[in-house]
Structure 1
């Protein structure tokens, strides 16, 4: 008579190891593949605000404006005359986010807004830094 060996009870540790491995690999993949923030290619200190009513979600394509007039779109430096070409495929129903230096003059921004209007951008969001209380 052949007697089957007793079945080994399956521990929960055996079924958790593959799950832990997959979660760890996904974590590494998203850390390497994801873009969390995009730094402008020049020094930029944004103005601060004390009150935020529904903060805007930061998009991947932000127009950075330096105090000396330097521009960067999506992390790449561009010239002001190339602005229309860089924003040619921008959707009409989406506002463009602008991250400007805190020390920039209003005249510089108004000339930038005129150039954006000529490029077909009708709505912009000016990004600020939340002031810590």
Structure 2
């Protein structure tokens, strides 16, 4: 008797092709969900815009000194006493140590501020 040859199993390429096809369909549909911008629309360019602190913001310089409305402020409690609001916007200098920022945020919370927002620079590059 001759030994039987085992039939080699085929590779499951059909399943792989189905998966790739489904992914292609998914990305085609997902890419068309958001309508494109009008081609005549020109977006605002803010590359050369000088940023300034919002008028109601507490500016914290790199050395930890505080300013509000262009005037120096002695402490975070003094700022909150004159600008009492539930939400306080803080504009820290980039070189300000995080420890100092956290201390000022805690002082604002102790003075009565419910929320302290930190303004940061947003860059799209």
For normalisation by structure 1, the TM-score amounts to 0.49
Report the equivalent of 1:85: 78
Structure 1 gap ranges (5+):
1-36, 41-57
Query: Match for 1:113 among 96, 101, 105?
Result: 105
Query: Match for 1:127 among 116, 119, 123?
Result: 119
Match runs of 1:1-133 below 5 Å: 39=52, 58=54, 60-80=55-75, 83-88=76-81, 89-92=83-86, 95-133=87-125
Secondary structure of the structure 1 residue equivalent to 2:84: coil
For normalisation by structure 2, the TM-score amounts to 0.51
Q: Extract structure 1 runs of 4+ deviating beyond 6 A.
A: none
Query: Is the 2:90–2:118 Cα contact (8 Å) retained in structure 1?
Result: yes
Q: Distance in 1 between matches of 2:51 and 2:57?
A: 9
- Name the Cα RMSD after superposition: 2.3
1:101 Cα offset (Å): 0.8
Aligned length in residues: 75
Query: Is the 2:58–2:79 Cα contact (8 Å) retained in structure 1?
Result: no
Note the alpha carbon deviations across 1:3-47, whole angstroms, 9 max, x for none: xxxxxxxxxxxxxxxxxxxxxxxxxxxxxxxxxx9957xxxxxxx
